[in-house]
Structure 1
């Protein structure tokens, strides 16, 4: 047993060191200091009281077990006054129920976000707390205050831990095509938006994708969801080289997709754009995606999808992959040993994905930069304009 644990520690170190060597100093310090994260797998605060609520004379759908069709049917049966009452009393529950009307969830999450902002401001001003706790509370207050800006459509919000948040860009009610951005390590409430470098945050990626769709097809009705709906690895520590957090995030991603089937008008399955560790989540989810047609799964900057070939992901998905030559993730070992690592490189011919060009993109987060082939291709795939996708030229590095 001790020998097995020692081997596991050595392998973890090897994987992390490979990434650190190519991403340099700050990442090395982060990897050394990072801790294993606690996955969020239970319903949000207020769920216990919600389940016990008998004020409507009937049971409310259990957030832990009710499927999206059940949730959708429940809300469709309510009067406007009954919906308003539930939003006011249980904002975190309504705001996170996949299958509930998106407009209702936006309203509920606005209340939940405001509550967290006010709670954080009170903590930041509490003289009984130490300077570190007060600074963290002030940062949380700032992060939540930004989410309350006019016009923002927060589809999900959970203040537990590092904070989970998902936002819709565009109109889900009228969209003919929907895309979901699934981010990788370090994605959370505090990193949802990156003011200094917007494309490092999932919010910036989603906005760039929506703008590219409109550039390619100005009349297209599209929506993009920036989905920070699972607890991601922090830094380059142990969590980044195992699928533990990805496996915990899969049911949450599948519930999102099930909810969209109930609440959107499009008959086209949402396309998944999976960055870095997010491609591990998509790889774990892919065999369980059974939609109305093939789901486009686009992986970029991927450490692997947990399999050796795209065929292992099932017939319900169409897999696209890209990695630019300056992305440090290409130097991470593409293998799986004893639960460590994420399998084969999705950008190889042997894997079997459609490899698209990312010419012009630079680094691990540069795939949505203006005028890059990757952004053009992502927009074309999101629109279903597959004839406009440019494949990687084998002569490129």
Structure 2
């Protein structure tokens, strides 16, 4: 009987894939963008410094950080001008240098935004920072779900900006309170103890629509590798360990990256599952949180894994073991960062390291 029920659930997953959910069209298959960034061959051949440069495809972020620490300002400038795509996407390189490189890269931002990664291959991948990544006492990374790429990045950017504003302005949602305040001070490592930097990370090939890609883990596995390398890269530059805020299919990515990401917290919201049956299966020392709005259409997706379809147990289910994030006043699948919601207040508390 149990096997029969699981088969029916798998059929239901397939039906969702074929017909779409809440009006979404069936998705088209995507090929994940992997490997080093554009311009890597020219970078590898560059001997202008009299030595080999760290290989963008194989060098550990810690080794990249040490390499740049040993360069003069003029040498750094020479490399970013010659190889903006490589420097702008090289995990372990100083964030300020990556911002400057991505401002020079064709198609990169030139309006003062802090673009930490920009890869134009495929549908395009982008990461943007709000705040001071290297000096903030806390760091949060927003990992989006389906349909996000360079052309739709503003959706993830707005999520990250909402979290940044809420986490750094504790008074904004308290009636009658004073205006938000700045950092409480600096610790011995020079970190601003009261501040949170937030990264909008659209750094993987996401599914398009609700199709086979969204119901399977192939894109998530490729994305998890990129996410884990990204978090190791910012850690190598001295940034604080991140809290991951993982929306929809992004929670599948975070689930697969959990063991390698070095996160303090992992927050899954609007999640189809994390490719795990419980928090213990994630094999992480991070605190794991979960939220689901009553009106979120993700509730209609069967939480099973069978024959490669589905992503497993609902992270908000008691048996999964995650800490619950309130979301009763959150609207739909994309309203978790709306100002004034209990979900955003809880997210801000988690980002600040205050939630228990």
TM-score by length of 1: 0.80
Alpha carbons of 1:56 and 1:188: their partners in 2 closer, same or farther (altered >3 Å)?
same
- Answering whether residue 159 of structure 2 is matched by residue 221 of structure 1, we say no
SS in structure 2 of the partner of residue 156 of structure 1: strand
| In structure 2, C-alpha distance between the alignment counterparts of 1:58 and 1:163, rounded to whole Å | 32
SS in structure 2 of the partner of residue 287 of structure 1: coil
| In structure 2, C-alpha distance between the alignment counterparts of 1:265 and 1:89, rounded to whole Å | 26
2:254 maps to what in 1?
A: 282
| In structure 2, C-alpha distance between the alignment counterparts of 1:10 and 1:60, rounded to whole Å | 51
| In structure 2, C-alpha distance between the alignment counterparts of 1:53 and 1:312, rounded to whole Å | 44
Q: C-alpha offsets along residues 193-249 of structure 1, whole Å, 9 cap, x if unaligned?
A: 1xxxxxxx1100000001111221733221000000000001111100001001001
Q: C-alpha offsets along residues 39-69 of structure 1, whole Å, 9 cap, x if unaligned?
A: 0111111101111212211110000000011
Please give the residue correspondences for 1:174-253 in structure 2 after superposition, counting only pairs within 5 Å. 174-193=135-154, 201-216=155-170, 218-219=181-182, 220-253=194-227
Does the Cα contact within 8 Å between 1:19 and 1:332 map onto a contact in 2?
A: no
TM-score by length of 2: 0.89
Please give the residue correspondences for 1:1-397 in structure 2 after superposition, counting only pairs within 5 Å. 13-17=14-18, 19-20=20-21, 23-24=22-23, 27=24, 30-31=25-26, 34-112=27-105, 115-116=106-107, 147-149=109-111, 151-193=112-154, 201-216=155-170, 218-219=181-182, 220-266=194-240, 269-289=241-261, 291=262, 295-387=264-356
| In structure 2, C-alpha distance between the alignment counterparts of 1:19 and 1:218, rounded to whole Å | 45
Q: C-alpha offsets along residues 337-380 of structure 1, whole Å, 9 cap, x if unaligned?
A: 11110000000101100011112110000001111110000000
Q: How many residues align?
A: 328
| In structure 2, C-alpha distance between the alignment counterparts of 1:348 and 1:171, rounded to whole Å | 36
Shift of 1:263: 1.2
Alpha carbons of 1:265 and 1:234: their partners in 2 closer, same or farther (altered >3 Å)?
closer
Shift of 1:318: 1.2
Q: C-alpha offsets along residues 118-139 of structure 1, whole Å, 9 cap, x if unaligned?
A: xxxxxxxxxxxxxxxxxxxxxx
Alpha carbons of 1:337 and 1:265: their partners in 2 closer, same or farther (altered >3 Å)?
closer
Shift of 1:13: 3.4
Q: Which has the higher helix share?
A: 1
Shift of 1:308: 0.9
Does the Cα contact within 8 Å between 1:305 and 1:343 map onto a contact in 2?
A: yes
Shift of 1:288: 2.5
Question: Superposition RMSD on alpha carbons, in Å?
Answer: 1.7
SS in structure 2 of the partner of residue 221 of structure 1: strand
For structure 2, the residue ranges without an aligned partner over 5 or more in a row are 1-7, 171-179, 183-193
1:198 maps to what in 2?
A: none
Q: C-alpha offsets along residues 93-122 of structure 1, whole Å, 9 cap, x if unaligned?
A: 00000100000000100111xx23xxxxxx
